Amino acid sequence: MAASPSGVNRFYLALGAAALIGVALLIYQVKAPKAVSIPANVAILAADTAGFRGYLLGSDSAKVEIAEYADYQCPACQLFESVQFPSVRQQLIETGLVRWRYRDFPLVQHRNSRLAAHAAACGGDQGRFWELHTLLYERQPEWSESGNAAGRFRDYARTVGLDLAKYDDCMTSAKFAGRIQASLNEGTQVGVGSTPTFLIGGRLYPGALSSDSLRSLVRALAPQTDK
């Protein structure tokens, strides 16, 4: 028995719908953010640390250096970055009193922290570390518990003006996995156990210190520099 015209039409409509769904799925797979994983406990090569002591702000001639060991997914680190660090930067770093050294210390319980650290490192590879660093902390609530934070980080990379092709290559190659591991190892060796922790004058100060507390510590170490 020959199919009725209405039956034929329904068949072709269903076939067309299936084709459209297939095309849509293909487009989604092509455009969807690729999952990125940054390995932990990697072997550290000489090239990972050569000439790199951390992400630095401030004058080379500053008499006091403050090293901050921090985790991008840590709420206390986000609080320090958003509330205290603008004053620290204005009062201590830009005045030449302090050389600031940011070090990654991704905690194992924070599943996106190492990925965030690597995204910031890839931003630094294009001269935009501090811009991406700031944005990662500002938008921590958006990505902190995300299952695929890589997509959001790529959006932030676009926001700060990175070349996305170079950024993607940097992320997928895990180019800075060794650098991040070296930073974590350094913190562990000096006794860091939580984030944020500050190393000032050979002593560790855990917790999100206030800008006033940091200024007092700097004055105690180099009083003649703070008029």
For 40-90, what is each residue's pLDDT tens digit? 999 999 999 999 999 999 999 999 999 999 999 999 999 999 999 999 999
* Alpha-carbon gap, residue 130 to 120, rounded angstroms: 8
Amino acid letter, 38: I
Domain membership of residue 199 (yes or no) is: yes
Domain membership of residue 215 (yes or no) is: yes
Domain membership of residue 158 (yes or no) is: yes
* Alpha-carbon gap, residue 105 to 113, rounded angstroms: 9
Domain extent, residue 133, equals: 46-225
Number of domains comprising the chain: 1
3-class secondary-structure state, position 84: helix
Percent of the chain with pLDDT over 70: 83
Domain membership of residue 144 (yes or no) is: yes
Domain membership of residue 33 (yes or no) is: no
- The token pair that represents 114 in the structure block: 């190492």
Confidence of residue 24 (pLDDT cuts 50, 70, 90): very low
Q: Are 77 and 195 in contact (CB under 8 A)?
A: yes
Task: List the strands of the sheet with 197-200, edge to edge.
Answer: 55-57, 98-104, 64-70, 197-200, 203-206
Domain membership of residue 28 (yes or no) is: no
pLDDT of 37 strictly over 50: yes
3-class secondary-structure state, position 166: helix
CATH assignment of the domain containing 103 = 3.40.30.10
Domain membership of residue 114 (yes or no) is: yes
* Alpha-carbon gap, residue 64 to 69, rounded angstroms: 16
Structure letter (DSSP) for residue 45: P
Confidence of residue 222 (pLDDT cuts 50, 70, 90): confident
Domain membership of residue 29 (yes or no) is: no
Between 12 and 35, residue with greater pLDDT? 35
pLDDT value at residue 81: 98
pLDDT of 197 strictly over 80: yes
